[in-house]
Amino acid sequence: MRTILYLIRKEFIQIFRNKFISKAIFAVPIVQMLLLVPAITFELKDVRLAIIDKDMTPESRGLISKLEGSSFFKVTFSTFSEKEAENLLLRNKNGVILHIPSGFGKDLITGNGGKLMVSVDAINASSAQLSWAYLNGVIRDYNAGLITENIGVASLSPLPRITITNRYWYNEELNYKYYMLPGILVILVTAIGFLLAGLNMVREKEIGTIEQINVTPVRKYHFIIAKMVPFLLIGLVDLALGLVIGKLAFNIPFEGSILLMFFGATLFLIAVLGLAVFISTFSGTQQQYMFVAFFCMIVFILMSGIFTPYDSMPQWAQDFNLINPVAYLMRINRMVMLKGSTIYDISTELLSLAVIAVCFTTLAVRRYRKTA
């Protein structure tokens, strides 16, 4: 035990002597939280809309007024030329074209049903679907208002109807920052644990100081534990710093147990640190390690469910996530922070992380060779 403590002390001295690592430990969480949380969002707040109104009736102007009053749309152009509107769409000046044909108002009055044509820029499929959904909602509200007016004129007796009341749980305001911040925290902890730990070990190979340890009677598991513990503690400190920034800057709610969240983060860090040390054992230079580590991080993060729901992924991707530690911590953070989940609710994720941590750490110990 004393040997491990001396080695850990040596690692801390070495880490804080490195000016880059010592600065990155505290700069990375501040930059990531303040920049990425408000920047990464799928919300659409300013859909640029071009309108071709060939009807010019009170009904068409009423629909346009409804769109102008929406918080999602900004009417930036109005024309009678379809070619001119299409050129705007082609040059990315507008995202949606609403074509109101002549006779639209007359068809509404006579009950034949007005027809509209909508053209949506679908280069970004997600934005196109949201734009269409927002526009469809505005048109539906406008249509409901027309029906109410006609019913009010035709009949004094109210028609029976079903009243639907929506309630969103865990994120009632649908604030996208609440959804993204737990995921950004996972990326933060991954960057600290996975990148810095491996780079620290490979750097020792390059400068030759690791050979001094190899010729001592220090056992392999002593050496690996001493390499992992400092970055485990640093990762937890950065996680706490990220939570503080999230609370002060974005007023992020925290419904569950903070100890449970840190317990999950501890298992996760052991897993990624074990993988980092394992990769560093067959990396001769920092460039080699960065190439492999960057590839692994990109795959783990993009398939973790930070942007797309886990259940929407194909089956092979869901199977791959069985060995993806980032996916487990992503679910743990969101469930604990937003839902207030208990240890029983996330027991599967915690057990899976523990198994992955043991496997990766065992691989690192067995792969490391004490050669002078």
269-285 pLDDT tens trace? 999 999 998 998 888 78
Q: What is the mean pLDDT of residues 218-233?
A: 84
CATH number of 47-154: 3.40.1710.10
Nearest residue to 108 via CA among 76, 139, 72: 139
Q: Which residue has the higher pLDDT, 339 or 218?
A: 339
Q: Tell which wins on pLDDT, 258 or 312.
A: 258
Question: How far is Cα 249 from Cα 134, in angstroms, rounded to an integer?
Answer: 29
Whether the predicted pLDDT of 337 surpasses 60 = yes
Type of residue found at 54: K
Going by C-beta distance under 8 Å and a sequence separation of 6 or more, which residues neighbour residue 191? Answer: 28, 32, 297
Token representation of residue 161: 């109807």
pLDDT on residue 155:
47
Q: Is 51 helix (H, G, I), strand (E, B) or coil?
A: strand
Assign 47 to helix, strand or coil: strand
Kindly report the backbone phi and psi dihedral angles of residue 98, in degrees, each rounded to the nearest multiple of 5, phi listed first.
-110, 115
DSSP classification of residue 159: P
Domain edges within the chain: 2-40+175-367, 47-154
φ/ψ (deg, to 5) at 119: -115, 125
Contact 128, 121 (CB under 8 A): yes
Phi, psi of 99 (to 5 degrees): -105, 115
Give the per-residue pLDDT at 163.
57
158, pLDDT greater than 80: no
Q: Write the CB contacts of 221 (distance below 8 Å, at least 6 apart in sequence).
A: 365
Contacts 24+ apart (CB under 8 A), 55-60: 55/100, 55/101, 55/102, 55/103, 55/104, 55/105, 57/104, 57/105, 57/106, 58/105, 59/104, 59/105, 59/108, 59/109, 59/114, 59/146, 60/100, 60/104, 60/105
CA distances to 142, 146, 157 from 153, rounded to whole Å, are 17, 11, 10
pLDDT at 350: 95
Q: What is the mean pLDDT of residues 59-77?
A: 85
